[in-house]
A and B are shown apart, each in its own frame.
Chain A
Amino acid sequence: MTTQSWPVQRRKVLRDATGIGLAVGTYGLSYGALATTSGLSVLQTCALSVLTFTGGSQFALVGVLGSGGSAASGVATALLLGSRNTLYGLRLAPTLQVRGARRAVAAHLTIDESTAMAVAQDDNQSARLAFWATGLAVFVFWNVATLLGAVGATALGDPKALGLDAAVGAAFLALLWPRLRDRGAWVVALLGASVALALTPLVSPGLPILAAGVVAVAVGLRIPAVAQPAQGGGAT
C-alpha cells in the first residue's frame, strides 16, 4: 500500500532508476576497459554490452578469454552466471504481464537491477514502472560507459603497467560482495575459489571456474535452506 500520490511516487521511481543507471555506468567503464585489455576489439566489447546485457556474464567471458581459457569454457561460465536471470523472469512475469513484442523487450532488460527495483515496490503499477525505467536507464548508461571505457583503455597503453590485470580480480570481488550476506555464501565462495585454484595447474584455463560452478550446484542441492535468490546490487 502506498501512501503517496502517483505523480510523487512516479517521480521517485524515475529518480531512483536514473541513479542506479549512473552507478551501473561506473561498472560499464571498467568492463569496457578490461574487455579491450583482454583482447576484444572495441566493436566486440560494445556488441557484448548491447546484445548480452548482463554484466556478470560479460565480465566472466572476458576474464576467461583474457586468462587464456578456451572460447567454449568462457561461454559456459558466462551462461552459467546468466542463468540467474531466468529466476528473475519467473518472479517478474506475474507483475509485468507482458506478451509478444513487449515480452521480447522485457526479457532483454531482465537483470539484477531492474528485478531488484521492481520487487522493492509496494504495488504493481510502481513495480512495472520501476522495471522498465531501471532496465532502460541501465541499458543506456551501461552501453555508453562501455564505449567510453573501451576507447579510453585502448588509448591508455600498456595494461600491465597500469595495473589493469589487478583490476579484473578486484572487479569480480566487487561483483561478489553484495552476495556474501550469510555464512553459507561465504563458505561457497571460499570453496569455489579453493577448488578453482587447486585445479588451475591441472586442467586448461577456464575449466577451474566451471568446476567451482559445479561445486555451487552440489552444495545448493544438498542444503536448499542456505540461500535466497540474490536481489540487490552486484552484477548487472
Chain B
Amino acid sequence: MIWAAVLVTSAGCYLAKLAGLSVPERYLDSPRVRAVAALIPVALLAALAAVQTFASGQSLVLDARAAGLAFAFVALLLRAPFLVVVVGAAAVAALLRAVG
C-alpha cells in the first residue's frame, strides 16, 4: 500500500509539473487560479503542523510535541535555519519526556 502511494504521488506530481510547461499560459494563469494556488500550500502546511502536533489518532492531546512546536515558532521568529528549528523542536520534546 505504501508503494502504491509512493508511485501514485510521484506520477501525479510529475504530471502537475509537466502540465505547467506544456499547457498554453492563458488556460490557467488567471488571478483567481494564482490566488487559490498560493493559498493551498498555506492551509495544508498549517493544518499538517497543527494535526502533527495536537492529534493522536482521532483525539486531540497536549503533550511534549506542543513544546517542540513552540520552540520552532520562536526559532523561526529569530530566523533560525531549518535544521536548527527541526532538531531543536525534537530536542525540546525529548528533554521534556526524559524529565517528565
Contacts and interface: CB of A to CB of B under 8 A. Distances in A.
Interface string A60-82: 11011101100100110111111
Contact of B40 (A74, A89, A220, A226): A220
Interface stretch (A6-14, A119-127, A136-144, A228-236): A228-236
Contacts of B54: 197, 200
B44 A197 contact: no
B86 A174 contact: yes
Interface in A205-221: 205, 208-209, 211-213, 215-217, 219-221
A166 B68 contact: yes
A234 B82 CA distance: 10
Interface residues of B, number: 78
A166 B18 contact: no
Interface of A: 23, 26-27, 29-30, 39-41, 44, 47-48, 51-54, 56-61, 63-65, 67-68, 71, 74-75, 77-94, 96, 98, 103-104, 106-108, 110-111, 160-177, 179-180, 184-185, 188-197, 200-202, 204-205, 208-209, 211-213, 215-217, 219-221, 223-230, 234-235
B49 A169 contact: yes
B9 A57 contact: yes
Nearest to A51: B10
27 contacts: A48-B6, A54-B17, A61-B6, A68-B57, A78-B9, A80-B40, A81-B44, A87-B37, A89-B21, A90-B23, A90-B28, A91-B29, A108-B14, A163-B89, A163-B92, A164-B90, A167-B93, A170-B85, A173-B69, A192-B42, A192-B43, A200-B60, A205-B55, A216-B36, A217-B39, A219-B39, A225-B31
